[in-house]
Amino acid sequence: MILKSPNHRISIINLFADYVLKSIPVDENTIIQIADCDNFCVIKGKTSYNIPLDISKLSKEFCEKFSLKLLNTIDLIEYDKKMIVEDNYTYTLFNNDNCSYQTNDESDDDLNLIVVSEFPHGYSLNQGRLLYYYTKHIVYNIPSNYPFSGLRFEVPTDKEKLESDFKVYNTHTEDYDETLKSSILDVFDFDTSAISNEIKKVDCYVEITNPLDEYSFLKERVKDFIII
């Protein structure tokens, strides 16, 4: 993702997507996407949760909480849906203090008639978000003597397929990095339970309101991670 200020249009709808998501129990399968059309927001989503949300009420609470002007909304969320978990997820991460973000972009967004919320915001943990945090944890553990600017990960949801389907690419050269892949699989077992427990305790809004900060537990060092 491109680093943007918390007041950017995309930052605000990312925040709103997470605010709506937080009204749904964390263990439900949910995807919320929001399109900001300038004079109104379209809230599109699917969830396994079976109790409809009061979007007008949530919108008002959201604007009061974050001191924003009231949003006009169109609610297109579908409830009680059987959600599919993808076989593989692709994540691009960077060698920065917060590896989610690439560079700062102060460009004028008024020329965009519509802007859309971005993954992982609005996505429940079991819709690729938890595996995303785990992959960030891996990136923070890559030794400093292993230079990279950005890495693209292809991560299977089935741990039995890690050896065959887990891939790492250098985003600068587009080269497949077999050495890094092997070193990662030697140390990381992709057991996401510990990170899941931690992420449920934190304020997810800081990911947008303070985008240069990072959850400390994602940066905890893992012993014996070396790259030969």
Q: What is the pLDDT of residue 110?
A: 57
The number of distinct structural domains making up the chain is 1
* Predicted pLDDT of residue 145: 86
Going by DSSP bridges, is the β-strand pair 41-47/30-36 parallel, antiparallel, or unpaired? antiparallel
pLDDT digits (tens, 9 = 90+) for 87-131: 999 999 999 999 999 876 555 555 788 999 999 999 999 999 999
Q: Which domain holds residue 68?
A: 9-219
- Domain contains 227: no
- Residues 159, 162, 164, 169: is their CA dihedral positive or negative? positive
In a domain, 225, yes or no: no
108 and 54 in contact (C-beta within 8 Å)? no
Q: What is the pLDDT of residue 38?
A: 86
How far from 26 is each of 30, 42, 85, 126, CA to CA, in Å? Answer: 9, 23, 15, 9
Q: What is the CATH number of the domain that holds 124?
A: 3.30.300.10
pLDDT of residue 224: 84
**Which residue numbers in the chain have pLDDT < 50?**
none
| 182 located within any domain | yes
Q: How much is the pLDDT for 109?
A: 57
CA distance to 42, 97, 122, 127, per residue, from 13 (Å): 10, 23, 9, 19
Counts for the chain of helices (H) and strands (E), in that order: 7, 7
- pLDDT one-digit tens code per residue, 140-162: 999 988 989 999 999 999 999 99
Q: Look at residue 145 and tell me if it is in a domain.
A: yes
* Cross-strand pairs, 168: 153
Task: Report if residue 1 sits inside a domain.
Answer: no
Task: Please report whether residue 3 resides in a domain.
Answer: no
Structural domain includes residue 121: yes
Q: Is residue 39 part of a domain?
A: yes
